Amino acid sequence: MKNYQTYFLMKAPDVPDYVRSKLKEFFPTGAMLESSEIGDGNLNYVFRVKDAVTGKTIIVKQAGAATRISADMILSTDRGRIEAKILQIQAKLAPGLVPEVYLYDEVMCAILMEDMIGHTMMRTGLLQHEIYPGFSEDISTFMARTLLLTTDVAMNHKEKKELVKSFVNPDLCEITEDLVYSEPYNDCHQRNNVFPPNAAFIRQELYEDKVLHLEVAKLKFEFMNHAQSLIHGDLHSGSIFINKKHTFIFDPEFAFYGPMGYDTGNILANMFFAWCNGDAMIKDLVQREKFCSWVLQTIQEIVDKFIEKFKALYEERVTDIMAKTEGFSAYYLAAVLADTAGVMGLELIRRTDGMANVKDITTIEDEEKRVRAERIVVTLAKECILQRNDFKCGQDYLAAIQRAVEKF
Amino acid sequence: MKNYQTYFLMKAPDVPDYVRSKLKEFFPTGAMLESSEIGDGNLNYVFRVKDAVTGKTIIVKQAGAATRISADMILSTDRGRIEAKILQIQAKLAPGLVPEVYLYDEVMCAILMEDMIGHTMMRTGLLQHEIYPGFSEDISTFMARTLLLTTDVAMNHKEKKELVKSFVNPDLCEITEDLVYSEPYNDCHQRNNVFPPNAAFIRQELYEDKVLHLEVAKLKFEFMNHAQSLIHGDLHSGSIFINKKHTFIFDPEFAFYGPMGYDTGNILANMFFAWCNGDAMIKDLVQREKFCSWVLQTIQEIVDKFIEKFKALYEERVTDIMAKTEGFSAYYLAAVLADTAGVMGLELIRRTDGMANVKDITTIEDEEKRVRAERIVVTLAKECILQRNDFKCGQDYLAAIQRAVEKF
């Protein structure tokens, strides 16, 4: 039996022995283990090991030494440690909403964890126009709890600083700084993927709008300097595994101390992409309206439930004497909500003209419909960024969406 | 000869052997070494070793395991490492304005460094009403360079994050969070030192003003969460050694990544304390006006020269593509200037009613004059905090000072 004292990149057949070596009692003696690679991410290799006798499964996620995105973006394998640690923290703060970590192996940079079997990647489900009635409830709980309870309005200040230190995440933050906060506004970056029929529109609306650039620059340094909460850092529908009854939030390898609006805004943007896809792709009118109205309702509910849970938790859990000053919680929440709208706009834009497009848009086959969807997205996004202080409740998002849709 | 493999707290007679052991060639073989303890700080033990033959000197600063402030405030000796490291960084950014570090000894938690001989602690000099014509030039250079050049508008983003991590400073930040941002506004803290004839005034103006508390709370979380620059963190006139021709900035053990306005505001507040002392204590009218007008001129020059140098450096050194957006530097500087005014107000207040008063005020013997000085200070401070967005140049500070002085 190997001793796994030196890192090597595993293939599927390596993984059963590895699991037996690390978690001796997980599978019973007579288990017949099958192994397969199931990941489609860019940064990691994900394997499932299954006991054909009992059906019991486990997931092994190993960080590759170099990312698959492109040859010039080399990432530290330290992100595995960060991911395992944050999953354990989030499990305490939002029990049941993240998969359980059984073990993190520093040598092999691998996490051995609960299989989210019976759940679908949410983006895949949304592309099939599935409805998830419990999602707004689960995601608002997850965000309010993991975000507010890791701030220093609620935490011991010294413990919070140790977390800040332990989650400094230069490699992954650099990806976000480039792909979200810089390249989508600068034609000089050859990595942007622009849909050709919208090239002139993107140039005018995104590359040449200096007023927009100034607001993006403000948000960029807010992202880099505001060590507010232990954020997930990549909270889109590809980081969520879901079914009709339950939600798992996953893939927190971008986690670091940043502005909580980065998570809340990301979710809202990716919900809106689902709306765009449903609006363009569902042929049956009844089905289309059912799916699209559920998406809009969910956007509204995410915002309003987050606000409600944030306020209740603030009352219950905030400890800092100055943070209890009358008016401070409202000031604090208002800043989070402005960040939320700003980041929603940034995510909408970068997924449209940046390097990493979303399938919700790219699978719209009809050219005219895709052109229209992207223009709605960019128009909404710019309002979210430029008028971000005006987005104070769920209804404000619905009204902005309506304005953008009516323009095209 | 001892090998210094285990930490112990040195007394003056221990230090010459220690220096010979660590820096073999610093003193020549025939040197006759004399040693004395010269520190008056609360956190460290400072020794000077002098060769009676050549006059050559060295300073050894050792971190005590526990602070001298009070028995319940125990500090990590890690602050010595932070101090040595930041002095080396500052020496590169602002050459000649910090003492040279020869060696940092992790075991003994001791820094062996350049003696700032021929320089006086600036607070001591100011209490003797000395004038330092070069101070505004030196301190504005120091602040513009050490602050702007450690931000991620100017630095490589990844290197900046490594610095953030390396300078997380929970113990010393906690002192500031308590003594500057909480206790001066809350009577419940028995550690406040309030001048009895001003007790009712302090209660009304500081403990009971809820509008003030809200603005202080905003500034508190700005201090804790805004990882903007590698700040000195304790930049008052007791951290500066000076003569008519030269300035040394010292004692950066509170350093961490925080808002740059924390340094700029601190300096301005402590200059104003010098004005208060001169105004109350100098009997000769000509002398008084000479000293006080130099102080006011220096306050104005510090602000205006800082702005000028900041702008020039921004043009020259900023690398981030979004930070170069038109209008961003003005937005960025405006936020720094608002923080500056806010922190000036906080420092003025905490040195008046908080635990650590300043000699500039406490040595005013005449009760009526001290009462007046403190009321001017608190009045000015509140304008600085509440109207901090209106302080945009040196003249704005002089005008606010005049308004406060005219009230009493």
pLDDT at A79: 75
Q: Span A137-164, mean pLDDT? A: 97
User: Is A208 an 8 Å CB contact of chain B?
Assistant: no
pLDDT(B325) > 60:
yes
Instruction: Give a yes or no: residue B155 inside a domain.
Output: yes
Q: Span A74-100, mean pLDDT? A: 87
Contacting residues of A for B181, CB less than 8 Å apart: 322
- Starting at the earlier edge strand, list the strands of the sheet with A101-105: A33-37, A44-51, A57-63, A110-113, A101-105
Task: For residue B72, name the pLDDT band (cuts at 50, 70, 90).
Answer: very low
CB-defined contacts A:B, below 8 A: 110
Site from B178, B183, B225 to mutate, A interface, most A CB atoms within 10 angstroms? B225
Sign of CA dihedral A211, A215, A216, A221: positive
Quick one: closest CA in B to A322, which residue? Answer: B217
Is there a single domain that holds both residue B102 and residue B132? Answer: no
Cα A242 from Cα A116, distance rounded (Å): 9
What is the total count of domains within chain B?
2
> Is B331's CB within 8 Å of A214's CB?
yes
Instruction: Give a yes or no: residue B7 inside a domain.
Output: no
Is there a single domain that holds both residue B78 and residue B204? Answer: no
pLDDT at B15: 96
| Domain containing residue B68: CATH number | 3.30.200.20
> Is A170's CB within 8 Å of B186's CB?
no
Cα A254 from Cα B3, distance rounded (Å): 46
Is there a single domain that holds both residue B84 and residue B210? Answer: no
Q: Which of B157, B165, B227 sits opposite A174 (nearest CB)?
A: B157
Is there a single domain that holds both residue A90 and residue A128? Answer: no
Q: For residues A67 and A43, is the Cβ–Cβ distance under 8 A? A: yes
CA separation, residue B19 to residues A362, B1, B336 (Å):
69, 12, 42
Quote the minimal CA–CA distance from A378 to chain B in Å: 19
Closest-CA residue to A248 (of A142, A148, A344): A142
Q: Report the DSSP pairing between strands B57-63 and B110-113.
A: antiparallel
Is there a single domain that holds both residue B220 and residue B344? Answer: yes
Is there a single domain that holds both residue B108 and residue B192? Answer: no
Instruction: Give a yes or no: residue A23 inside a domain.
Output: yes
Q: Of B95, B113, B131, at which residue does a domain stop?
A: B113
pLDDT at B68: 44
> Is A214's CB within 8 Å of B326's CB?
yes
| Domain containing residue B335: CATH number | 3.90.1200.10
Quick one: closest CA in B to A216, which residue? Answer: B322
Q: Which of A165, A177, A213 sits opposite B157 (nearest CB)?
A: A177
Site from A165, A321, A331, A346 to mutate, B interface, most B CB atoms within 10 angstroms? A321
pLDDT at B71: 42
pLDDT digit string (tens) for B253-284? Answer: 899 999 999 999 999 999 999 999 999 999 99
Task: For residue B39, name the pLDDT band (cuts at 50, 70, 90).
Answer: confident
User: Is B313 an 8 Å CB contact of chain A?
Assistant: no
pLDDT(B32) > 50:
yes
- The residue ranking higher by pLDDT, B81 or A391, is A391
Q: For residues B90 and B231, is the Cβ–Cβ distance under 8 A? A: no
Closest-CA residue to A37 (of A27, A47, A26, A50): A47
Q: Which of A158, A213, A325 sits opposite B322 (nearest CB)?
A: A213
Q: Which of A210, A225, A322 sits opposite B227 (nearest CB)?
A: A225
> Is A157's CB within 8 Å of B332's CB?
no
Task: For residue A203, name the pLDDT band (cuts at 50, 70, 90).
Answer: very high
> Is A170's CB within 8 Å of B158's CB?
yes
> Is B332's CB within 8 Å of A161's CB?
no
pLDDT(B40) > 80:
no
Instruction: Give a yes or no: residue A5 inside a domain.
Output: no
Is there a single domain that holds both residue B21 and residue B74? Answer: yes
User: Is residue A264 helix, strand or coil?
Assistant: helix
* A132: phi then psi, degrees, rounded to nearest 5: -120, 95
Is there a single domain that holds both residue A87 and residue A196? Answer: no
Cα B80 from Cα B27, distance rounded (Å): 24
Average confidence score pLDDT of chain A? 94
User: Is A325 an 8 Å CB contact of chain B?
Assistant: yes
Cα A136 from Cα A204, distance rounded (Å): 35
Helix, strand, coil: what percent of chain A each, to 5? 55, 10, 35
pLDDT(B97) > 80:
yes
Task: Map tokens 């809340």 to a residue.
Answer: A264
Is there a single domain that holds both residue B74 and residue B127? Answer: no
Cα A280 from Cα A363, distance rounded (Å): 10
pLDDT at B159: 97
Single-letter amino acid, residue B345: G
> Is B224's CB within 8 Å of A152's CB?
yes
User: Is B353 an 8 Å CB contact of chain A?
Assistant: no
pLDDT at B30: 86
For A:163-202, CB contacts with B below 8 A are: 164-165, 168-171, 173-174, 177, 181-182, 185-186
Is there a single domain that holds both residue B267 and residue B348? Answer: yes
pLDDT at B79: 75
pLDDT at A69: 44
Contacting residues of A for B228, CB less than 8 Å apart: 225
> Is A157's CB within 8 Å of B218's CB?
no
Sign of CA dihedral A384, A388, A391, A394: positive
Task: For residue A3, name the pLDDT band (cuts at 50, 70, 90).
Answer: confident
Quick one: closest CA in B to A170, which residue? Answer: B158
Q: Which of B186, B210, B327 sits opposite A326 (nearest CB)?
A: B210
Q: Of A78, A113, A148, at which residue does a domain stop?
A: A113
Is there a single domain that holds both residue B74 and residue B140? Answer: no
Task: Give percent of chain B with pLDDT exceeding 90.
Answer: 87
- Measured distance between the N- and C-terminal CA atoms of chain B, rounded to whole angstroms: 63
Q: Span B344-369, mean pLDDT? A: 97
pLDDT at A29: 86
pLDDT(B74) > 70:
no
pLDDT(A107) > 50:
yes
Q: Which of A161, A216, A320 sits opposite B322 (nearest CB)?
A: A216
pLDDT digit string (tens) for A11-34? Answer: 999 999 999 999 999 999 889 999
Q: For residues B268 and B344, is the Cβ–Cβ distance under 8 A? A: yes
pLDDT digit string (tens) for A57-81? Answer: 999 999 876 544 444 444 566 778 8
Instruction: Give a yes or no: residue A393 inside a domain.
Output: yes
> Is B325's CB within 8 Å of A217's CB?
yes
pLDDT digit string (tens) for A152-191? Answer: 999 999 999 999 999 999 999 999 999 999 999 998 768 9
Task: For residue A239, name the pLDDT band (cuts at 50, 70, 90).
Answer: very high
Q: How many CB atoms lie within 10 A of CB A158?
A: 15
Average confidence score pLDDT of chain B? 94
Site from A161, A215, A318 to mutate, B interface, most B CB atoms within 10 angstroms? A161
Segment holding B263, helix H or strand E: helix B261-281
Instruction: Give a yes or no: residue B19 inside a domain.
Output: yes
Q: Which of B224, B327, B331 sits opposite A157 (nearest CB)?
A: B224
> Is B323's CB within 8 Å of A221's CB?
yes
Q: How open is the CA angle A225-B337-B254, to the nearest 5 degrees? A: 60
Contacting residues of A for B153, CB less than 8 Å apart: 221
Instruction: Give a yes or no: residue B78 inside a domain.
Output: yes
pLDDT(B333) > 70:
yes
Q: For residues A61 and A46, is the Cβ–Cβ distance under 8 A? A: yes
Q: Span A279-307, mean pLDDT? A: 98
Q: Of B70, B97, B113, at which residue does a domain stop?
A: B113
Q: Span B307-326, mean pLDDT? A: 96
pLDDT at B170: 93
Lowest mean pLDDT among B29-38, B74-83, B84-93, B239-248: B74-83
Quote the minimal CA–CA distance from A129 to chain B in Å: 37
Q: Span B335-358, mean pLDDT? A: 97
Instruction: Give a yes or no: residue A6 inside a domain.
Output: no
Q: Span A187-203, mean pLDDT? A: 92
User: Is A385 an 8 Å CB contact of chain B?
Assistant: no
Is there a single domain that holds both residue B209 and residue B83? Answer: no
Task: Provide the residue range defining the domain that includes A265.
Answer: 120-406
* A131: phi then psi, degrees, rounded to nearest 5: -110, 135
Quick one: closest CA in B to A328, which residue? Answer: B214
Quick one: closest CA in B to A171, which residue? Answer: B158
CA separation, residue A156 to residues A151, A256, B77, B237 (Å):
9, 18, 21, 31
Quote the minimal CA–CA distance from B120 to chain A in Å: 35
Task: For residue B38, name the pLDDT band (cuts at 50, 70, 90).
Answer: confident
pLDDT(B104) > 60:
yes
Q: Span A346-364, mean pLDDT? A: 97
Closest-CA residue to A37 (of A64, A15, A20): A15
